[in-house]
Structure 1
Amino acid sequence: MLKKISVEDIKELRNKTGAGMTDCKKALEASSGSIHLAVEILRKKGLASANRKSNRIATEGLIQSYIHAGSRLGVLVELNCETDFVARQPEFHRLAKDIAMQIAACQSVQYISRDQIPQKTISYEYDIELQKEDLVNKSKEIRKKIAEGRIEKKLNDLSLMNQNFIKKTEMTVEELVKQHIVLLGENIKIRRFHRFILGEGLETKNNNFNEEVSNIIKNN
């Protein structure tokens, strides 16, 4: 017997995914009322829809800022969409603010996506891994396999789109953006960002400020 789809189930699924009420109802019906399976259905549907829009030109949007408590850390991010209409929507503004906060929290992030990381940087990091002491006495094949695994993690750490979203760690930033592409019906691109840390580049006492900021933001 099929489970009756309640309004509460639909609202819960909408809160989890940001999808429309009709799409949530259809996903719940297709999954026999399972929230978990319905989330997967909507994610797959959203991924396909977002991928179709990913090559469309996005030149509108906004520049969003995030200043962390204490004014010692700030971020500027440019988020693009296709029309000024979408750029004015509160969902788009919240997305931009969330991305700026994510950048503030993820101190290792230097690039928007992995394909922006220069090959010379990848080669340099790979050579360093191969020369580490714990790999010296291992065979060439084992060294290569371990180094490749470490580089894979390193590249993900450097890429904003590969980060787990700090407010919903079950999804990545890339999935978050694609969710909003489906929600707002336009291509959305993170074009560029810059992180400002008070005193960065100056000679200061050694502390755990970056770690402290990350922990505070994650606990908000």
Structure 2
Amino acid sequence: MAVTAALVKELREKTGAGMMDCKKALNETDGDMEAAVDWLRTKGLAAAAKKSGRVAAEGLVGVVVDGTKGAVAEVNAETDFVARNDGFQAFAETVTALVLSNGANVEALKDIAYPGTGRTVGEQLTHNIATIGENMSIRRAVALSVGDGVVVPYVHNAVRPGLGKIGVLVALESTGDKAKLADLGKQIAMHIAAAAPQSLSTDDLDQTLVERERSVLVEQARASGKPDNIIEKMVEGRVRKFYQEVVLLEQAFVIDGETPVKKVVEAAAKDVGAPVTLKAFARLQLGEGIEKEQTDFAAEVAALTG
């Protein structure tokens, strides 16, 4: 039987599953509507679809390092209760390990085989949603590597090794002493967790963000009534201060509160025995940027009781 757009639409309305999943279900069942519904239920897709609109801002950030490679991934659920579940934690660990070996493209990751299940990562995610009863997602991931040096992990608020609320990776390149390099990387990683830099260098910083900040600073300076040449100097000074707040290499190192991170890295060459380059970093904070639904339980109760 030919699978038409009308059939796909009808199945979608019946189950709440995604359009492509509905099309696949109908193809697999030769257009039999009821069989397609059962096919979706078997795969857990119908149940998962009903939960897909719910906000998943809790969960865990996983971090893993193997030699000169590291990965960090954010896996979300709706509640912290689920994030404490052993099964969810094992899933977050496995996903992070798969990022390490396969790269940080989340959509491509979903097509990779999930170990020991006969499912893909995407199918395992759907299975978990149907089994646990909460919306979940693999939100984002980053992979870093160096040719010669170290990639150092750090997890803040760890619930178990490699899993927590903030995950950081620091990639340092150097031919010097790797143990001392790792110690430096750990300090920088802790700094990153606390200071939340937005870029590695001023060149990497989003220029739209810089121009927006500059525009605000110009207007503030003009309000002072000073001449244009003074305003220009005021703005440049404030832009430098802005860089010191958001750019990792310009930030004051949290260990002493005054030395710029770039100077700390330069000075480390003497201790490590070779020049050191801070090549890259990654910092993922759980739920960052997700707008959580705010509920007023007392108001809900009042509304229900009339």
Aligned to 2:253, the other structure's residue is in SS state coil
Match of 2:77 in 1: none
| Residue 167 (structure 2) pairs with residue 74 (structure 1) | yes
Structure 1 residue 91, shift from structure 2 partner: 1.3
Match of 1:136 in 2: 223
TM-score (norm 2): 0.42
Cα shift readout 1:10-49 (whole Å, capped 9, x = no counterpart): xxxxxxxxxxxxxxxxxxxxxxxxxxxxxxxxxxxxxxxx
Aligned to 1:116, the other structure's residue is in SS state coil
Cα shift readout 1:40-86 (whole Å, capped 9, x = no counterpart): xxxxxxxxxxxxxxxxxx83112211111252212112111136xx3
Q: CA 1:93/1:153 → structure 2, altered by over 3 Å: closer, same or farther?
A: same
> Which is bigger in relative contact order (C-alpha 8 A, separation at least 6)?
1
TM-score (norm 1): 0.56
Aligned to 1:102, the other structure's residue is in SS state helix
Q: 1:91 aligns with which of 158, 180, 185?
A: 180
Aligned residues: 143
Between stretches 97-106 and 67-76, larger displacement belongs to 67-76
Q: Give the AA of the match of 1:76.
A: L
Q: CA 1:159/1:141 → structure 2, altered by over 3 Å: closer, same or farther?
A: same
- Rounded to whole Å, the distance in 2 between the matches of 1:80 and 1:177 is 11
Structure with the higher fraction of residues in helix conformation: 1
Structure with the higher fraction of residues in strand conformation: 2
Kept in 2, the 8 Å contact 1:160–1:173? The answer is yes
Kept in 2, the 8 Å contact 1:114–1:156? The answer is no
Q: Give the AA of the match of 1:135.
A: R
Kept in 1, the 8 Å contact 2:167–2:284? The answer is yes
Cα shift readout 1:122-181 (whole Å, capped 9, x = no counterpart): 44422221123x633513333323222211100122221222222223433222212221
Aligned to 2:280, the other structure's residue is in SS state strand
- Rounded to whole Å, the distance in 2 between the matches of 1:203 and 1:118 is 22
Aligned to 1:192, the other structure's residue is in SS state strand
Root mean square deviation of aligned Cα: 2.5
Q: Give the AA of the match of 2:188.
A: I
Q: 1:181 aligns with which of 252, 260, 269?
A: 269
Q: CA 1:149/1:170 → structure 2, altered by over 3 Å: closer, same or farther?
A: closer
Cα shift readout 1:166-219 (whole Å, capped 9, x = no counterpart): 22234332222122211222121111111111111211379xxxxxxxxxxxxx
| Residue 265 (structure 2) pairs with residue 172 (structure 1) | no
- Rounded to whole Å, the distance in 2 between the matches of 1:145 and 1:205 is 44
Match of 1:103 in 2: 192
Aligned to 2:171, the other structure's residue is in SS state strand
Match of 2:248 in 1: 160
- Rounded to whole Å, the distance in 1 between the matches of 2:248 and 2:198 is 7
Between structure 1 and structure 2, the one with the greater Rg is 2
Q: CA 1:174/1:205 → structure 2, altered by over 3 Å: closer, same or farther?
A: farther
- Rounded to whole Å, the distance in 2 between the matches of 1:168 and 1:149 is 23
Q: Give the AA of the match of 2:187.
A: D
> Map of 1:1-220 to 2, 5 A cutoff?
59-70=147-158, 71-82=164-175, 86-87=177-178, 90-107=179-196, 109-117=197-205, 121-132=209-220, 135-136=222-223, 138-139=225-226, 140-204=228-292
Q: Give the AA of the match of 1:141.
A: N
Match of 1:211 in 2: none
